[in-house]
Amino acid sequence: MRNYIILLALFIYLNPKAQTIQTLDSGTKASIRGLSVVNDSIFWASGSNGKVARSTNGGKTIQWLTVPGYEKRDFRDVEAFDASTAIIMAIAEPAVILKTKDAGKTWKKVFEDSTKGMFLDAMDFGSNGVVGIVVGDPINNKAFIAFTVDRGETWNQDTRAYDTLVAGEAFFASSGTNVEMISGPHQRTIYLQVTGGKQSRFFKNGKVVSSLNLASGKESTGANSFAMYKRKNVVVVGGDFTNDTSAVGNCLLSSDFGKTWKQPTIQPHGYRSCVAFITNKKLITCGTSGVDISEDWGYNWRLISNQSFHVCQKAKWGTAVYLAGANGRIAKLR
C-alpha cells in the first residue's frame, strides 16, 4: 500500500499536465474574499476598503473601483449575473447588500440591518440566478437567513424555526462558500450550509444532517467552505486559520449528500478557506498556506502553489478558474 502511494505520488509529480497559478493583478490595498465568475471572460471580485474588481476580458485588464460612501466597508461576498449586474455584501454595522446594474457606476441599497450582533457571512443564488439566500451569524443561537426571489432586488428574513446552533458555532465569512442554494423544478429550492467554530455541522434547509469531524474547539477552527456535485458528492474544507500549515481536520468527503463522511487519503496541505469543483471529479482548494488540486473527488490532494489565496471559483458558464486573496491578488489557474 505504502509503495503504491509513493508510486502514485511520483506519477502525479511527473505528470506533464501540471497546473500552475498565473498572477493577473496584485498590489491593491484590499483583502479579497468575494469572487464570482460568470464565464471565461467575465468575473467580479470584492473585498475590504470598499473595493470591487471587475474584468470582461479574462483578466487581461482588471478595473478596480471603490464604492462611494462605503470606503471602509468589507465586502466579503459578491454574486455577479453578467458584465454589468452584480450584488455585493458588507458584513456588519450595519449589514448591507448593494446591487449595481451599470457595471459598478451606481449602487442601490437592497438590504440593510443594524441589529446589534448582525454579521453577514455569505450569499448564494440558484442556477436560475433569481432565487438567492444570505446567511448571517447566529443571534441568540439562531442563524440569520434571508431570501430573495427577484434577483436580489428585495430580501425577506426567514423566521421559521431552524435547528439552533451551540455556543461558539457560527459561519465563517472567509470566501462566501459556506452556503449553497439549488433551485429545483417549480421554483422549489434546497439550501445547504456548513457551520464552523467550536463545532462544525452540515445543514439542509436549516436542519442538521450530520456532524463534521474537523478541527474543532476554537473560534478559528472548523468548516469554512464546501462544494457539491449533483446532490451526491460533497467536499468540505477548513482547519484552523491560526495554524494554517496544519492539515489536521481540514477536509471531509461525502458520497451520499452529506449523511456520512470520510477523510481523504492525502489531505490538502494546510488550512483551506475555499473549495470548488472544476469538473465532475476534479477540485481546487485554496487557503493562506497554498493551493491544492484533486483529480479524484477529493481523495488525493496535490499542492500546486504555496501562495496565499482566500477564494477560488470556476466560471458558472465556462471552464476558467480564478483565485483571489490578500493585497488585491487575483490569479488564474493554467
Ligand X SMILES: *[C@@H]1O[C@H](CO)[C@@H](O)[C@H](O)[C@H]1NC(C)=O
> What is the distance in angstroms between the CA of the first residue and the CA of the last residue of the chain?
32
In the complex, the smallest distance separating the C-beta of residue 41 from ligand X, rounded to whole angstroms, is: 4
278-307 residues in contact with ligand X (CB under 6 A) are 303-306
Query: Secondary structure of the chain in the HEC alphabet?
Result: CHHHHHHHHHHHHHCCCCCCEEEEECCCCCCEEEEEECECCCEEEEECCCEEEEECCCCCCCEEEECCCCCCCCEEEEEECCCCCEEEEECECCEEEEEECCCCCCCEEEEEECCCCCEEEEEEECCCCCCEEEEEEEECCEEEEEEECCCCCCCEECCCCCCCCCCCEECCCCCCCCEEEEECHHHCEEEEEECEECCEEEEECCEEEEEECCCCCCCCEEEEEEEEECCCEEEEEEEECCCCCCCCCCEEEECCCCCCCECCCECCCCCCCEEEECCCCCEEEEECCEEEEECCCCCEEEEEECCCCCEEEECCECCCEEEECHHHCEEEEC
Residue type, 218: K
Q: How many whole angstroms separate alpha carbon 268 and alpha carbon 290? A: 9
Q: Confirm if 39 and 317 have CB atoms less than 8 A apart.
A: yes
Tell me: does residue 49 bind ligand X (CB under 6 A): no
Which residue lies nearer to ligand X by CB, 42 or 88? 42
CB of 82 to ligand X, least distance (A): 6
User: What's the min distance (Å) between Cβ of 299 and ligand X?
Assistant: 20
In the complex, least distance from residue 243 CB atom to ligand X, rounded to whole angstroms: 4
Q: Which of 5, 8, 139, 248 binds ligand X (CB under 6 A)?
A: 248
> What amino acid occupies position 219?
E
Q: Is 79 in the site for ligand X (CB under 6 A)?
A: no
Choose which of 19, 26, 243, 255 interacts with ligand X (CB under 6 A). Answer: 243
- Among the listed residues 94, 246, 281, 295, the single contact to ligand X using CB under 6 A: 246
Nearest approach, Cβ of residue 240 and ligand X (Å): 6
74 is a site residue for ligand X (CB under 6 A):
no
Nearer to ligand X, 149 or 326 (CB): 326
From the list 3-11, 40-48, 70-78, 111-119, the region that binds ligand X by CB under 6 A is 40-48
CB nearer to ligand X: pick between 100 and 193? 100
**By CB under 6 A, is residue 88 in contact with ligand X?**
no
84 scored as a contact of ligand X (CB under 6 A) = no
244 binds ligand X (CB under 6 A): no
Q: Which stretch binds ligand X (CB under 6 A): 65-73, 151-159, 167-175, 240-248?
A: 240-248
Q: Which is nearer to ligand X, 5 or 248 (CB)?
A: 248
Using the rule CB under 6 A, is 21 a contact of ligand X? no
Distance, C-alpha 284 to centroid of its chain? 12
Q: Which stretch binds ligand X (CB under 6 A): 37-45, 67-75, 141-149, 292-300?
A: 37-45
Query: In the set 21, 30, 42, 86, which binds ligand X (CB under 6 A)?
Result: 42
The three cell numbers locating residue 106: 451606481
Residue from 31, 41, 48, 189 touching ligand X (CB under 6 A): that is: 41
Which CB atom, from 23 or from 187, has the smaller least distance to ligand X?
A: 23
Please tell me the number of Cα atoms within 13 Å of 4 on its side-chain side.
Answer: 3
**Residue among 138 and 238 whose Cβ is closer to ligand X:** 238
Instruction: Report the interface residues with ligand X, using CB under 6 A.
Output: 39-42, 82-83, 243, 246, 248, 303-306, 318
